[in-house]
Amino acid sequence: MARVTAGVATSHVPAVGAAMDLGKSNEPYWAPVFAGYEPSRRWMAQHTPDVIFLVYNDHATAFSLDVIPTFAIGCAEEFPIADEGWGARPVPKVIGHPELASHIAQSVIQSDFDLTIVNRMDVDHGLTVPLSLLFGKRDAWPCKVIPFAVNVVQYPPPSGNRCYQLGKALRRAIDSFDEDLDVQVWGTGGMSHQLQGPRAGLINKEFDNRFLDRLVEDPEGLAKMPHIEYLREAGSEGIELVMWLIMRGALDHEVAPVHRFYHVPASNTAVGHLVLENRKP
Amino acid sequence: MPLDKPYAGIPGTTVFDADQSRKGYHLNSFCMSLMKAANRERFKANERAYLDEWPMTEAQKQAVLARDYNRLIALGGNIYFLAKIFATDGKSFQYAAALMTGMSQEDYARMMLSGGRAPEGK
């Protein structure tokens, strides 16, 4: 049977991808960011899963305002890298797992989460930057990826609790897939940042670190945080953090933290990162 | 009964909700068109003529021509869509963010390096 082995949370700042693509990773501005991911890269080399269920948001790339799905699951065999307006990132295309994705879609919809099924989709930095951060430069990604896009562009995104409960439904779906697969669930985006208006540049280290604490120790309580608190405390784009709760919902109640990293700034954003292992069965 | 919008009072912040999205549909659709290199070239060759192909308001067109991003947000623009305009101009997110705060890009970058904008006045 398939099993969820671990969860990863990480920011997906586009400038981080650009720094890697342009060979700036060793510059003084960026070196501390990449150093913070080194322990995770080493861990990942020993724990590469068969499939990553990667929760992210599209940034006006695959989805315009014509269609705005709250939860969209990528069921295609592969996903091209998007041209976001300055050419596609020079990273490998993403190979999906249509059988597992379709199984998850059918299972989760029957658990009352009405997913949108996507069979053709370009993926943007929200999905590729986390892969680059955890795997570095590659000719091909070392595992399959199921993209799962959450609307956080047009307010309101789904609530934290909705995301957390969806994670639990996702876990049941993965656990019931009849193939021997190691699956990781990744939650991406955040942490505090605001990209618009006179309050742009907001960073809230206290909020972010408390969020990292509670994601590990008190996910049920954290899931109850209302949207207004994210907007006020973490900035208008900090609300992306609800996506981390899907990842957490898919893990065991008790998890073993492997690595934690927090850094300010990456361009306009606070970078946060966690690797959490399920305790062994 | 109108919807409760507790976020309306957050200073310096416009939440892109359903009302803003409705106001900004054509503006944001214009922005989306700039994802294609051929459209970027046509826009750069004659901005006014390109804008006139879209059923946007005159105020929205003027704000695009002026690259007034705060005004564009007030008129229904969303930052991820507006990013297509400043990407077409070869400008970064940090450039646009600095512009919206009224700071020089240098001062803004320095603020970020020293930990960002404190969340006071929220």
Q: Look at residue A87 in the predicted model and tell me its pLDDT.
A: 83
Q: Please name the amino acid found at residue A22.
A: L
Cβ of B17 within 8 Å of Cβ of A156? The answer is yes
Q: Which of A193, A115, A196, A100 is nearest to A148 (CA)?
A: A115
* From A12, A103, A193, A259, active-site residue: A193
Cβ of A64 within 8 Å of Cβ of B28? The answer is yes
Q: Residues A7, A254: contact at Cβ < 8 Å? A: no
Cβ of A268 within 8 Å of Cβ of B88? The answer is no
- The domain spans of chain B are 16-89
Cβ of A198 within 8 Å of Cβ of B122? The answer is no
Q: How far is CA A279 from CA A3, A5, A255, in A?
A: 12, 8, 6
Is A47 a known active-site residue? no
ipTM over 0.90: yes
Q: Look at residue B122 in the predicted model and tell me its pLDDT.
A: 44
Establish if B56 touches chain A: CB-CB under 8 angstroms.
no
Residues of A in contact with B122 (CB under 8 A): 232-233
Whole-model pTM: value is 0.97
Q: How far is CA A179 from CA A16, A21, A169, in A?
A: 35, 36, 18
* From A12, A97, A103, A125, active-site residue: A125
Establish if B8 touches chain A: CB-CB under 8 angstroms.
no
Establish if B74 touches chain A: CB-CB under 8 angstroms.
no
CATH of B16-89, one of 2.30.110.10, 1.10.700.10, 2.40.50.140, 1.10.3720.10: 1.10.700.10
Based on the number of CB atoms within 10 Å of its own CB, is B110 exposed (0-12), middle (13-18) or buried (19 or more)? exposed
Q: How far is CA A55 from CA A9, A19, B105, B106, in A?
A: 9, 22, 32, 34
Measured CA to CA, the distance from residue A277 to residue A182 in angstroms comes to 12
Low-confidence ranges of chain B (pLDDT < 50): 122
Q: Look at residue A280 in the predicted model and tell me its pLDDT.
A: 67
CATH of A3-278, one of 3.40.830.10, 3.90.800.10, 3.40.50.2020, 3.50.40.10: 3.40.830.10
Establish if B97 touches chain A: CB-CB under 8 angstroms.
yes
Per-residue pLDDT tens digits for B41-72: 999 999 999 999 999 999 999 999 999 999 99
What tens-digit pLDDT sequence spans chain A (281 residues)?
999 999 999 999 999 999 999 999 999 999 999 999 999 999 999 999 999 999 999 999 999 999 999 999 999 999 999 988 878 999 999 999 999 999 999 999 999 999 999 999 999 999 999 999 999 999 999 999 999 999 999 999 999 999 999 999 999 999 999 999 999 999 999 999 999 999 999 999 999 999 999 999 999 999 999 999 999 999 999 999 999 999 999 999 999 999 999 999 999 999 999 999 998 65
Tell me how many residue pairs between chain A and chain B have CB atoms under 8 A apart: 147
Q: Which helix (H) or strand (E) holds A255?
A: strand A255-266
The whole-angstrom distance between A192's CA and the closest CA on chain B is 10
Based on the number of CB atoms within 10 Å of its own CB, is A250 exposed (0-12), middle (13-18) or buried (19 or more)? buried
The residues near A223 (Cβ < 8 Å, ≥ 6 apart) are A160, A161, A163, A164, A165, A245, A249
Is A125 a known active-site residue? yes
Cβ of B102 within 8 Å of Cβ of A198? The answer is yes
Measured CA to CA, the distance from residue B116 to residue A65 in angstroms comes to 31
